[in-house]
Chains A and B, each alone.
Chain A
């Protein structure tokens, strides 16, 4: 009987290492949970619940979802003539099992039947599910939609919709993208208008909608026809009905179990979520932040799956009379894969943890009316700080984890050689599934644009300051920390230089700055882990030794001031090829 939580040493280590008691105590403070008979008695009880929930997730992932993954990948879902979609029978079976296990209201408050788990536990669960089948994560991971409804919709909508999510009678979709509004959501055109009875109605086309065939649709639409940017957009909730048709099911490179739909809205009745005009600038931005951590977790799961396959193969495959893991080139590939997964996991879990602190802080500020003035001021101040830090860490995690999983799945195929290229092994599926992660919920390039702001504006220094003040008993860790401090200084010089250049330069230097900052941040996180775990000491040392020279390289590239990709674009990119 497999279990993808219990067999994963690193997740279990982090479960114990991360201060989940702090998270749990925040999560249960003023939780307004109603009278559920499964409320934890205290903080330790809550943490024990988290562990048990992850054990269930691990069991369902290993015993149900993983064995279905290959067939789901090969057969996919079906578009019916009437514009509905039939999910693959095994995907439906996965959903049924998750429902039996009460896992579809993961983060919702108990009064709606949810488990009231914090984001960090949801992130771990998402990773575990994604290791079993990355495409199923797109159904499990869409619980952010319920969370968004919980955060912004009025009580009427919440009471009506959220219990159905928790009972897994419905799944949802976030309906944002249009043919001409991908990365640039300000360009959304789908029209929302009020009919004579004052009912909002939606008209238009949406494209590339993950699980667009779900029952509850959160739709970004233009409610103010005269305002052409993001301020003209509002968020609506609507249910699947005859006036919403799936016109097309995309044929994709990977995640075949997840239906990607083109949706046509034809005077579809809808209800407004929250206030008009805040659709993109407030609600979708919040939704996206959660979703980005979700994709980071999905990436971790795919990376973990690919690593495990490669590790086992390198151990059993014999060439030249030895297991291939004894060959230096393969040994380095395998260790780099493992360290890359652990590095991305360290950053993603840390981000989730800080998201929990931020979200709960906000929730307490909004829902507790009689907070003492002092506490209110402190919480507001804390909120601002955390928002800046998360504004940097969230895109960093999504960028790091998704790029990691493309690299790791690619390397897994390399370790498996010819076998990895064949459909006989899951390696090729992992790579195909991985490839979307650097694209959806904001491309890597967009994540960098968001993250580099934090690196250039002081959030980075503020965040690492606490880690730099940490004192390690072990002299070797202290020494590694000093080198990270030097690295941070080097980044600051590069930031100063970049800021002295024309505006476009910061964007051009963005990837190198963010990569460098990630090396320093993850280096500190691994040092923290190394302080309590012998193996992690080796991991931290290897990570810092191998990556600091890369930081040096990135900074030197920046300091060279080279802008030729912009200045000499036409020359370097050569002529535009003719279509024929």
Chain B
């Protein structure tokens, strides 16, 4: 990797030492950090079909298999790693339909301390402006935090806007494209960020928001014991749905009682995932959902690349030369 000249901006100081001499724990003080990680359940864009878009131009989530947004996993890993090193807590928050509880469970499997689902029909069809407003409100509702971590971008929208907009709304500094959290020292984080053709080492005052890229780390696997425990964790809406399904002919009161009984049971076992709506975070409704979203999707197009057989290239000088020529011809290279 080429060493780029660090850009010196407001509040950032030039490092006085070369980065390879900056050990991970240089100047680290072992104080705990409370970290909030924003995660998103996304359609698996590797499997997009023509039904991917609804008539109103928004994503048709029902038609797509869903996965944990890949770079959010990297953000989670960065947060868990920092917690493992310094102590503190990792709280994950996800905005989405009840099904998004899947990614929250996955976070619990990997070691998150607390999970919150932010779900509200009035938040549906939010663009990045509305989403970042809602998430910022939620983070303020959580209260105490030292670092907010987000994946750089989600693979459905690919905007990379939500993280930075949250920082703006929270009024805290942001560092994007984290590749390594070099050190944490009380109120100061030193971060190596990828700038495409090199890196910068920046220092940032906490609390701060950091967005994380895929090359930052390899996310840890789910931990078997936590899987066995937290696979049963549920958000209230899931419990409601399960109870209603099991009680077909019950009266409304019976159902209500059964739901609150189950809810209590889950809470007692520590298996109730918190669920917030827009009222819980005191959001202004005209800044949420479609009303708060100036962005309008015009069209989504599915482009199918067809495979036309394969050719074998011998591993000789000549073969490699031919391959390069071919790749240059079809503009894969150059």
Contacts and interface: CB of A to CB of B under 8 A. Distances in A.
Interface of A: 36-38, 40, 48-49, 52-53, 56, 59-60, 63-64, 97, 100-103, 113, 115, 316-318, 424
A483 B224 CA distance: 45
The list of the 4 closest CB pairs from A to B, nearest first, reads A38-B228, A102-B224, A101-B221, A38-B229
Given A38-B226, A52-B228, A64-B221, 18 more contacts: A36-B225, A37-B269, A49-B228, A52-B227, A56-B221, A56-B227, A59-B222, A60-B221, A63-B221, A64-B218, A97-B220, A100-B220, A100-B221, A100-B223, A101-B222, A102-B225, A103-B224, A115-B224
Contacts of A48: 231
Interface in B203-257: 218, 220-229, 231
A97 B221 contact: yes
B225 A115 contact: yes
11 contacts: A37-B270, A48-B231, A52-B224, A53-B224, A60-B221, A63-B221, A97-B220, A100-B223, A102-B223, A102-B225, A318-B312
B220 to A, nearest CB: 5
Number of contact residues on B: which range applies? 10 to 19
B226 A102 contact: yes
Given A316-B310, A318-B312, A37 B229 contact: yes
Nearest to A419: B315
Contacts of B270: 37
Q: Is the interface of B mostly helix, strand, loop or mixed?
A: loop
A56 B222 CA distance: 7
Contacts of A49: 227-228
Contacts of B218: 63-64
B224 A56 contact: yes
B220 A53 contact: no
A53 B223 contact: no
Contacts of A52: 224, 227-228, 231
Contacts of A53: 224, 227
B228 to A, nearest CB: 4
A332 to B, nearest CB: 24
A53 B222 CA distance: 9
Interface in B252-286: 269-270
Contacts of B225: 36, 38, 102, 113, 115
Contact of B228 (A40, A60, A63, A101): A40
A317 B313 CA distance: 11
Interface of B: 218, 220-229, 231, 269-270, 310, 312, 315
Which among B218, B220, B226, B229 has the highest number of chain A CB atoms within 10 Å? Answer: B220
A5 to B, nearest CB: 12
Contacts of A64: 218, 221
Contacts of B228: 38, 40, 49, 52, 115
Contact of A101 (B223, B229, B231): B223
Contacts of B231: 48, 52
Contacts of B223: 100-102
A48 B225 CA distance: 13
A40 to B, nearest CB: 7
Nearest to A99: B223
A60 B224 CA distance: 12
Nearest to B312: A318
A206 to B, nearest CB: 33
Contacts of B222: 56, 59, 101
A59 B221 contact: yes
A125 B315 CA distance: 36
Contacts of A63: 218, 221
A359 to B, nearest CB: 21
Nearest to B84: A100
A170 to B, nearest CB: 18
A101 B270 CA distance: 21
A193 to B, nearest CB: 42
A38 B226 CA distance: 7
A408 B221 CA distance: 32
A161 to B, nearest CB: 19
Which among A37, A97, A103, A318 has the highest number of chain B CB atoms within 10 Å? Answer: A37
B134 to A, nearest CB: 30
Contacts of A424: 315
Contact of B224 (A40, A101, A318): A101
Which among B220, B221, B231 has the highest number of chain A CB atoms within 10 Å? Answer: B221
Contacts of A318: 312
Nearest to A317: B312
Nearest to B229: A38
B317 to A, nearest CB: 16
Which among B223, B270, B310, B315 has the highest number of chain A CB atoms within 10 Å? Answer: B223
Which among B218, B224, B270 has the highest number of chain A CB atoms within 10 Å? Answer: B224
B235 to A, nearest CB: 19
A113 B223 CA distance: 12
B216 to A, nearest CB: 16
B249 to A, nearest CB: 26
A110 to B, nearest CB: 8
Nearest to A53: B224
A48 to B, nearest CB: 8
A287 to B, nearest CB: 24
A38 B228 CA distance: 5
B170 to A, nearest CB: 31
A318 B231 CA distance: 47
B139 to A, nearest CB: 27
A97 B228 CA distance: 18
Nearest to B311: A318
Contacts of A317: 312
A100 B225 CA distance: 10
A115 B228 CA distance: 9
Contacts of B224: 52-53, 56, 101-103, 115
A317 B311 CA distance: 10
Contacts of A115: 224-225, 228
A260 B107 CA distance: 39
Contacts of A100: 220-221, 223
Nearest to A39: B228
A378 to B, nearest CB: 32
Nearest to A97: B221
Nearest to A103: B224
Contacts of B221: 56, 59-60, 63-64, 97, 100-101
A101 B220 CA distance: 8
A65 B38 CA distance: 29
A40 B224 CA distance: 12
Contacts of A38: 225-226, 228-229
Nearest to A36: B225
A59 B218 CA distance: 12
A63 B229 CA distance: 24
A234 B29 CA distance: 50
Contacts of A56: 221-222, 224, 227
Which among B223, B227, B310 has the highest number of chain A CB atoms within 10 Å? Answer: B227
A424 B314 CA distance: 13
A320 B208 CA distance: 64
A60 B225 CA distance: 15
A494 B232 CA distance: 57
Contacts of A316: 310, 312
B81 to A, nearest CB: 11
Contacts of A102: 223-226
A113 B226 CA distance: 12
Which among B222, B227, B228 has the highest number of chain A CB atoms within 10 Å? Answer: B228
A371 to B, nearest CB: 29
Which among A52, A100, A113 has the highest number of chain B CB atoms within 10 Å? Answer: A100
